[in-house]
Chains A and B, each alone.
Chain A
Amino acid sequence: MEVANIYDNGPISLIARIKDNLSIYTAKKWAHYQVAYAEPWPRSSPLRVDLVALAGATTIAANGVIAKRLVPILQATDGEMLQIRFEPLDDVEGVVYEQSGTGKFNSRNAHARVNMGTCIRDPYLATTTLFVMGYNRDLNLEVQNPNPVALNQARFQFFGFRYVLDAISPDLSSVIDQRGQQDKAKQEEITRQLAAGDKATVAQHIGPTTWLPAEGR
């Protein structure tokens, strides 16, 4: 099977196969993983959430907002990563935050939304692709109602892939100095370069990898 670019404009497909490497920008540094397991997350009712119900409300007000909130079905655990696309099933707009304070799909002056029309020009919802990585780095979803009437529900449908990742810890014991001793300074420098995402260092000590942003970056 061919592995997709991470924001492939076609049907969703794996970004890495089992035993492939992933280099993920998360928690303000690059972390390197090997895919231990991957499985599809089919579009289905358990991956559907009604933000009106989740917020404990009866409606989303006319031109109103449901404040951003955690979506429990998208919570991952340590070593788990979700590759997700989504769309609203009702006439509302979704605003994504990864971690509750970091806007996803935003720029300096704009924060893009996903609405019912997104799938018209982008039938595979490729532009909604996002990743949720690990424990306590959750996605938050805000809902906007563009209609001048209140709506009774604001459902969102998610689907994608789920990965289990093993962290890669390269064996640096062969990094020695001229006296044949462990070169601690050099080893620390390599570790620092790996966290900084230096491509040459990663190529040497991790091998081929797919570079991936997480948490809205």
Chain B
Amino acid sequence: MRYAMAIDTKKCVGCSDCVVACQTENNVPIGYARDWVAEMVAGTYPNVELEIRSERCNHCDNAPCVRCCPTGASHIIDGGIVKVTPEECIGCGACIQSCPYDARYSHPEGYVDKCTFCDHRVEDGLDPACVAVCPTKCMYFGDLDDPSSDVSEAMKNRNYKALAPEAGTDPQIFYLL
């Protein structure tokens, strides 16, 4: 079982609902963000292209943050979701240094925090909060090993890319182009 996310850049309008929904679902403190929206513009007026992406921790298959954690607080659970156990985290910041996506941050209570694919919702068979709230339904979540899951279906017959593949982390969030 390998959880992954596919995000359709053709439908995303950059409304950032995913950011607010994550904040209210996971009690993310004001001033912090587990996910964010990036925009890329290329060209010269009026020949312009636009790509909008909702980004978060990529729950990489080859996660450097898990490798470099000295206490094992950063660990991988069923399905490949990368999580942090607050009581085992010493706040050394090594994982933050090791993430090429800058997906982690230091929670005001001292431990390191980040997107958890809302594993508490996934356990109950629900989608992560960001996927569930997206008004354009451009986000798909599910088991990549299951060809009939939402995410596998979404990726069929579509070109897609992952972010910073040259960092070698094997990220599991795919942007449909």
Chain B binds chain A? no
